[in-house]
Structure 1
Amino acid sequence: MSLDVNISEPEEFNCQELHTSIEKVALIKGIKDFNYHVDTISGKGDNYIANLFRVTIKDTEDENNSVNVIVKTLINTARQETFCELHKREVNVYNKVLPMFKRIQEVINDDDRVIFPDCLLSSIEEEQEILILEDMQDKGFVMSDKVAKFESLTFHEIESILKELAKFHALSLICMKKEPDESQKLQKKYKDLMFDNRFLNKSNLRKYFVDSYEMSLKVVEDMELKKLLEQIGMKLIDLLRLYTSPKNFNVLCHGDCWVNNVLFKRTENGDRLSFLDFQALRNANPATDVLHFLFLCTNSNFRSQHLENLLDAYYESFQAFSNLFNVDASLIYPKEDFYRDIRESLPFGFLIAFIELRIVTCTAEDIDFLRGSSLSLNTLAPPNGNELFKIRINDVVREASNNGAIKNLIDETNRFSY
């Protein structure tokens, strides 16, 4: 065996642990004598939680026999303690949830199925956390580079993602009918982690959320709305927890749905998609995923023009996919209930945008803050001089004022104060 490392910062991973893990994967693939090549996978906002590598394993006796894998690690000690719970959740999703989803889909055509990467190897052992997945690039799936280029997704791309998200959500509904006992266990297990006090208390994320909110607050131009938003900020975590808590109807939500967590495959019959990054998976109302995606990946002008059509497309996909399994979604989660949940959750979409647009709108100069082992989320620099950030923040503030989201947040803030 031999190692060919092609990364700028070798300390990003524990070479011995990676070596051992790759050896196990090679054996799984029937390759006994091999060498391998390691490349970092970098992209705006991708790697501030986990180290991410693409590894090519080649059979030394047969040069045509090779396998590509994606390796995610939390080996770096500076971030390991903070994010080990997120890693454990994602490993459990790949080992428990997605296999169930794949098993249930065996009765339908391949072209209709929701696609997930296969997990080849995983570990949640302390200081040896690792997740090795098949490289979906080998199947023609690639990440969109539009966000990195500050280009807007097309209506078709937005619609395709929402329709696939609807199918992902529908799998929970189908599991409730086909495997109720196992489904119930999973719903109880996957309570929200991101805004849970115990997790926030032992990680730096509470400060990250608050700092992000305050950073956005600084660029708000409407002074009257800014004062209202200052009040809301004092109860930020309580509000986030309120909107992500289970409602009357819940599914296993992705929890971090935006374009950088989606892979695209262009085909003659349309786009095929595959979701990535399940650290934030939670049992919650599907509106939280829908609005998380829309408020990060579109602007208010786009939403004002297309929201109703996109919600219709989502629900039609949700219903049609469920019908493939003889499950009538309209009886369990009527369309009017979905629309009501969207309306009531609009404040959540605003809060997510207010927190995360600092990442989404990073300029080329800011990208370095999202790379490297020394990154601290709490010291992530503000997007100084980033006009796109200012435009998007003020854009979403005006929208939240017009649609009543800010008023609703003020009402909820006052309730917390009693």
Structure 2
Amino acid sequence: MLDNLTVLDEANMSLDVNISEPEEFNCNELHNAIKEVATKIGINDFEYHVESLCGKGDNYIANLFRVVIKDTNEETNSASVIVKTLVNTARQETFHELHKREVEVYEKVIPMFLKIQQVLNEENKVMFPNCVLSRINDGQEILILEDMNLKGFSMSDKVARFEQLNLTEVELILKELAKFHALSLIYKNQEPESFKNLKHEFQDLMFDTKFLNKSQLRKYFDESFEMSLKVVDDFETNKLLRKIGTKLTEILRFYTKPNKRCNVFCHGDCWVNNILFKKSETEHQLCFLDFQALRYTNPATDIVHFLFLCTNSNFRFQHFENLLDIYYESLQTFLNLFNLDINNVYSRGHFDLDVKDMLPFGLLIALIELRIVTCTSDDIDALRGSVLALNTIGLPPDNELFRVRVNDVVREAKRNGAISKLVDEVYTSIF
């Protein structure tokens, strides 16, 4: 075990490590990267403290650290950054493409979004962390971002405590998600050629055949889906879902490809653990994180992904239509800031059709990912480090929350026609 270990190099820099899994931590790699960061911010002689940030459900592909850099000659001169590295195992090569995708988002997409927002007041802007340093070389994958905690942003602990987001929080997330999506529509309007070239670089990666075969994620998706089916009480519905499951990744690929009505740069993994919140008596803000799955596709994919993972069926029954209104109104308001008429870029009729068409996708995402959202504290060690570790996890017999959430979403999918649409329209027509 490596705990609070201080490592000195020839430049009298020190590394104070506070971590319990040294086999997944490359001290030299981090040390060299932090040295480069310190040089960028004008600190030559320094020491730094490393604190692991990975907790329940926080990250399954990368290790996250907070690194505080302190000037040894000037006590008041310091900086804090967030470091993201792939784990130092065979999984590092496996998830290289995901790391590369996120780095490309910070290098190509977010700079354009920041440029677009230069004309806005701070309160209207979509927040993004600044990228301090990135590397995509095999075996040296690293991403260093500004520590948004210094600006008052922090993660919600509701997932860790198995609590649902309240209505105000859900509304805030959908408002900001609409603004995030609107940036693509504005970008397309302002620089059509640049946008056209860039969108082709961000086709879906998560369900791409080559990536699935290389990463073994196909096995993870199939096993997660099967785990959900084991607790589905409705026998006939279970049979229909098993039929769908034989072509699961092909169907997921169908739903995440661009459609003919409207497409934007979507987050791709929009749920509460990929969002930072800033709350005070006078303002509520948020900041999206973790862009490994960013894809160019229909915005409704992000909406249903978030709602089906981070709210339950009863919540959606009560608030779904109103939340769609809130999203669309926020989209319209943000586009208006740039003199864009929403009816010319994404009519309400087309939006409603897209959300309805994506309800089956929301069901599938829930049946795959609810095992993560509802995992117990006993699963934490197995979950740390990589999604591949999940292949070894069975369903805890006492996980009643998982059982309830799965059956709730299945009953909802029967009511709203998502299951019949999957079988009659998608599965049959494609295969």
TM-score band w.r.t. shorter chain: over 0.9
2:33 equivalent among 21, 36, 45? 21
- Paired with 1:265 and 1:116, the residues of 2 have a C-alpha distance of 13
Report the equivalent of 1:176: 188
Secondary structure in structure 2 of the residue aligned to 1:365: helix
CA contact (8 A) 2:129 2:146 kept: yes
2:333 to 316, 320, 325: 320
SS class of match (1:366): helix
**C-alpha distance in structure 1 between counterparts of 2:397 and 2:62, whole Å:** 25
Q: CA deviation at 1:369?
A: 1.5
CA contact (8 A) 2:275 2:288 kept: yes
Partner of 1:43: 55
Q: Kindly state the Cα deviation for residue 11 of structure 1 after the two structures are TM-superposed.
A: 2.2
Amino acid in structure 1 at the alignment position of 2:53:
I
- Determine the C-alpha separation between the residues in 2 that align with 1:393 and 1:375: 22
Mark the runs of 5 or more structure 2 residues left unpaired by the alignment: 1-12
CA contact (8 A) 1:78 1:373 kept: no
Deviations 1:233-256 (CA, angstroms, capped at 9, x unpaired)? 011111101111101210000000
Residue of structure 2 equivalent to 1:134: 146
Which residue in 2 is equivalent to 1:216?
228
State the number of aligned residues: 417
SS in 2 for 1:320: helix
Instruction: State the alpha-carbon separation in 1 of the partners of residues 380 and 17 from structure 2.
Output: 23
In structure 1, the partner of 2:416 is: 403
Q: Could you say if the C-alpha distance between residues 339 and 405 of structure 1 is closer, same or farther in structure 2, counting changes exceeding 3 Å?
A: same
Match of 1:9 in 2: 21
For 1:135 and 1:217, locate their aligned partners in 2 and report how far apart those are by CA, in whole Å: 40
Letter in 2 for 1:181: E
How far, CA to CA, are the matches of 1:96 and 1:113 in structure 2? 18
Distance in 1, matches of 2:268 and 2:388, equals: 23
Structure 2 equivalent of residue 270 of structure 1: 283
**More displaced stretch, 176-185 vs 365-374:** 365-374
In structure 2, what is the equivalent of residue 291 of structure 1?
Answer: 304
List per-residue Cα deviations over 1:2-27 (Å, max 9, x = no partner): 11111111222211111000000011
Comparing 113-122 and 67-76, the one that deviates more: 67-76
**Closer, same or farther: CA 105–301 of 1 in aligned 2, 3 Å:** same
Q: Deviations over 1:220-275 (max 9, x none)?
A: 01111111111010111111011111012100000000000000001343311100
Shift of 1:372: 4.9
Matches within 5 A, 1:6-405: 6-248=18-260, 249-372=262-385, 376-405=389-418
Instruction: State the alpha-carbon separation in 1 of the partners of residues 228 and 28 from structure 2.
Output: 42
How far apart are 1:76 and its partner, in Å? Answer: 1.1
- Over 3 Å counting, the alpha-carbon distance change for 1:374 and 1:261 in structure 2 is closer
Using the aligned pairs only, state the percent identity. 65
Instruction: Check 1:194–1:375 CA distance in 2 against 1; reply closer, same or farther (3 A cut).
Output: closer
1:44 Cα deviation (Å)?
A: 1.7
CA contact under 8 A between 1:217 and 1:226: conserved in structure 2?
yes
Distance 1:47 1:333 in 2: 34
Take 2:251 and 2:407, find their aligned partners in 1: how far apart are those partners? 21
What's 1:415 paired with?
429
Question: Relative to structure 2, which stretch is displaced further, 377-386 or 341-350?
Answer: 377-386
Q: Structure 1: which 5+ residue stretches go unaligned?
A: none
- Going from structure 1 to structure 2, the CA distance change for 1:388 and 1:373 (only over 3 Å counts) comes to closer
Cα distance, 1:304 vs structure 2:
0.8
Instruction: Give how far 1:416 is off.
Output: 3.3
Contact 1:76 1:373 in 2 (8 A): no
- Range 214-223 or range 181-190, more displaced: 181-190
Paired residue type of 1:270: E
TM-score, normalised to structure 1, is 0.98
Secondary structure in structure 1 of the residue aligned to 2:378: coil
Tell me by how many angstroms 1:164 deviates: 0.2
Bigger mean CA deviation after superposition, 9-18 or 190-199: 9-18
Q: 1:407 to 1:374 in 2, by over 3 A?
A: closer
Q: CA deviation at 1:85?
A: 0.2
> CA distance change for structure 1 residues 75 and 43 in 2, over 3 Å: closer, same or farther?
closer
Q: Secondary structure at the match of 1:376?
A: helix
Q: Following the alignment from structure 1 to structure 2, what is the Cα–Cα distance between the partners of residues 361 and 294?
A: 15
What one-letter code is carried by the residue in structure 2 that aligns with 1:371? R
Shift of 1:35: 0.2
| RMSD, aligned CA | 1.2
CA contact (8 A) 1:194 1:280 kept: yes
In 2, distance between residues paired with 1:260 and 1:127?
Answer: 26
Aligned-pair CA distance for 1:374:
11
